[in-house]
Structure 1
Amino acid sequence: MNITYRLDVIPEPETVIELFTNANLKRPTEPERIALMLKNADLLVTAWQKDKLVGISRTITDWVWCAYLADLAVFTDLKSSGIGKEMIAITREKLGPQCMLILLSVPTAFDYYPKVGFNKEDRAFSIERTK
């Protein structure tokens, strides 16, 4: 399996929606909203198998204190192939040692994140979106 990781590509919103849907990641399905999510990200890591988008990592950060890993998605048939782990490693490398990486996990990924270096936290709070 030959996977190429890119930092210089903003995929088409429809391609990202297809990836999110395949990965069972509940995200908006309006292309305009996805386009803004991608445009406003500080760091996008994409994984490609030839010309097919097979993974994406989207991060929002100040680059010196904290970064929020907003999305991590890999095509279902490629999970357990190390793509997600590699995108996290690239993200951490680009953020540097000063920056903490945090995320909110979907329930189905609770067991995954400790395996790739995340600590489980019991001190997070959130206010849910209304739309």
Structure 2
Amino acid sequence: MQYAIEADLTADEFIDVLQRSTLAARRPVDSVATISKMLANADLIVTARNDRALLVGVARAMTDFAYCTYLSDLAVDVAFQSQGIGRSLIAAIHDAAGLDTRLILLAAPDAVTYYAHLSDSQGIGMHQHPSCWTIPPASDGPSGPS
């Protein structure tokens, strides 16, 4: 597997890997314009490509390179999961942002157990935080998604 920082990842490739992962259900894959803005405004994009250069995983983050790094997307093609690709993408993002930054992510409900196993002695040192507060997008209405 080849891991690289790819600031010029295309919206089409990103959408494709989102659709081959479980993340498409929670991302605006039907809006190329929105996905393009998401990519253009990310500080770091790390990709995983197999030996045929197929994009099989991506991590997208916003960071100040000093204090915090928000890992907003972690997607791995379902056919390539359970091979350590997600773990390697997280480590690559954190390394590129600076290991002195605090890595922050919000787990999708179905991914909570995945991140929990990254906190054990075999993991990468992730710790669950007891609280998180969000303001939903205006399009979700004042009380959030229904």
TM above 0.5: yes
TM-score, reference length from structure 1: 0.91
Aligned residue identity for 2:80: L
Within the alignment, does 1:127 sit opposite 2:127 as a pair?
A: no
Partners of 1:8 and 1:23 lie apart in 2 by: 19
Measured in 1, the distance between the counterparts of 2:43 and 2:78 equals 25
- Report runs of 4+ in structure 1 exceeding 3 Å deviation: none
Q: Which amino acid aligns with 2:67?
A: W
- Name the counterpart of 2:142: none
Match of 1:31 in 2: 32
Cα RMSD after superposing both structures:
1.3
- DSSP-derived class of the 2:110 partner: helix
Using the alignment, how far apart are the partners of 2:87 and 2:105 within structure 1? 14
Give the letter aligned to residue 43 of structure 1: L
Aligned to 1:74: 76
Question: 2 CA distance for matches of 1:8 and 1:17?
Answer: 15
**Quick check: which has more Rg, 1 or 2?**
2
Deviation at 1:8, TM superposition (A): 3.3
CA distance in 1, matches of 2:99, 2:128: 19
- Unmatched 5+ stretches in structure 2: 119-124, 140-146
Q: What's the CA shift string for 1:62-91, capped at 9, x where partnerless?
A: 111111000000000111011110011111
Identity among equivalent positions (%) equals: 35
User: Match of 1:24, as an amino acid?
Assistant: T
For structure 1, which runs of at least 5 residues remain unmatched after alignment?
none
- The number of residues matched between the two structures is 129
